[in-house]
Amino acid sequence: MSSASKPEPQRSVTLATFLPYRLNVLATVVSGGLGRIYGERFGIGIPEWRVLATIGEFKRITAKAIGQHSEMGKVKISRAAASLEERGFIQREANVDDLREMFLTLTPAGQSVYDEIVPLALNYAAQLTADLSPDEEATFGMLLDRLLARARKEFDGSEP
């Protein structure tokens, strides 16, 4: 009986081909590029943009729901919301069904900023995918959805 030797476990990683690293680099570069666009023009950072964009999308939403939607932590959302409220971009309304919770909505000034940023953000996204065919873009979107669903299911216990 021959004993087959087990392959040696890999002891190093090549970051340039390591998927988690590549996804992180891509997210950092993409967020940073978009962040420069709205940061220079409107003086808001990435967390503020995510909160503003989420409120703009849903119109009226709680901080907890923003966290669930945007994968942001409570502290980051709280600081971003406070900054946006201080600048007059959002307002808080009590939830009459649960007084511990507040609904966040855009003010007219916040809606105006949102309305200006959205075309810039959409143009930025279009530029990112300009070299992809429509089929490649659809496949890429589908693959991102599958990777996110798998990561949530396997590694953080949440479901998509």
Tens of pLDDT, residues 134-148: 999 999 999 999 999
Cβ-contact 105, 93 below 8 angstroms: yes
The answer, yes or no, to whether residue 3 has pLDDT greater than 60, is no
**Protein fold of 46-130:** Arc Repressor Mutant, subunit A (1.10.10)
Strand partners, 55: none
pLDDT for the residue 141: 96
Residue range 53-74: mean pLDDT, rounded: 95
Predicted TM-score of the model (pTM): 0.83
pLDDT for the residue 149: 93
